[in-house]
């Protein structure tokens, strides 16, 4: 395979994207406990591998070509466009859908963080805003953003494989966090747990949940 890809070999952009994405993530996540650092480390690895392949070296494509013999006129650095055979059109479609999910996820992530931060400042249990729909909206936003960028927009073998591991890690982290909240708020939080799902809004509430990311608490 002697293909040259326009997205490849641009290491300064790869480094810039890794730095910016990592700064945004740690700016709002700010891990403290070892559980938080372990989960954050998985996200950091996801970010590094994703942008290193997107702008640096398309390892996934070369791996598939080398070991599975994938080769076609429409071969590109984007996995979906190569597998489906749509070339630049496939890359454009996956980019639009991926960025849409990414920006929605970032909006939910940031708004969820803000609502939780205000509640902690007042030592209150937050059950309004995004928290009406899920108990951990900041993690839901993180999942949506990572899925959009690392599975839909620019999937790699690493990003697709590690995404469910990240979801599992944050599920375990959420259970640990909820034990502490139960100690603080007792039955009030237990009742909230029974009424509101952990990450995925109930059927028919997705539209309201996504729209709520743009609203600010009074």
Q: What is the pLDDT of residues 51-99, one digit of tens each?
A: 988 887 777 766 776 665 665 555 556 677 666 666 667 778 888 999 9
Q: Which two tokens stand for residue 181?
A: 């909240």
pLDDT at 47: 93
* Mean pLDDT of the 143-161 span: 90
Q: How far apart are CA 137 and CA 152, in angstroms?
A: 21
Give all domains of the chain, ordered by start, each with its CATH number: 11-212 (1.20.120)
| pLDDT score for 154 | 86
High-pLDDT (> 90) share of the chain, %: 45
pLDDT above 70 coverage of the chain, percent: 82
Sole residue written with tokens 């944050």: 170
pLDDT of 193 reads 93
Mean pLDDT of the chain: 84
Task: State how far the Cα of 86 lies from the Cα of 125, in Å rounded to an integer.
Answer: 49
CA dihedral 177, 218, 141, 169 (to 10 degrees): 0
DSSP class of 132: G
CA dist list (Å): 57 to 2, 15, 80, 92? 13, 12, 17, 20
**What is the pLDDT, as a whole number, of residue 70?**
60
pLDDT tens, residue by residue, 160-173? 899 999 999 999 99
For the segment 145-160, the average pLDDT, to the nearest whole number, is 90
- Tens digit of each residue's pLDDT (9 = 90 or more) over 104-120: 999 999 899 889 888 88
13, 21 Cβ separation under 8 angstroms: no
pLDDT recorded at residue 217: 42
Which residues are CB-neighbours of 158 under 8 A, at least 6 positions away? 45, 46, 49, 50, 53, 60
């Amino acid at each position: 395979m002697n293909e040259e890809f326009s997205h490849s070999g641009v290491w300064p952009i790869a480094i810039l994207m890794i730095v910016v994405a990592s700064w945004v993530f740690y700016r709002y996540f700010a891990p403290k406990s070892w559980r938080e650092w372990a989960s954050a480390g998985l996200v950091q690895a996801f970010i590094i591998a994703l942008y290193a392949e997107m702008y640096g070296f398309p390892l996934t494509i070369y791996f598939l070509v080398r070991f599975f013999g994938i080769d076609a006129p429409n071969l590109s650095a984007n996995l979906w466009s190569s597998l489906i055979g749509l070339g630049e059109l496939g890359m454009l479609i996956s980019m639009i859908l991926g960025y849409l999910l990414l920006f929605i996820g970032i909006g939910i992530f940031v708004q969820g963080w803000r609502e939780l931060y205000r509640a902690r400042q007042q030592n209150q249990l937050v059950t309004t805003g995004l928290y009406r729909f899920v108990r951990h909206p900041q993690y839901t936003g993180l999942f949506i953003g990572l899925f959009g960028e690392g599975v839909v927009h620019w999937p790699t073998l690493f990003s697709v494989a590690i995404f469910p591991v990240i979801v599992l890690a944050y599920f375990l982290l959420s259970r640990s966090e909820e034990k502490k909240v139960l100690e603080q708020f007792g039955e009030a939080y237990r009742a909230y747990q029974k009424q509101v799902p952990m990450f995925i809004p109930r059927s028919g509430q997705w539209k309201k949940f996504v729209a709520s990311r743009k609203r600010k608490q009074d």
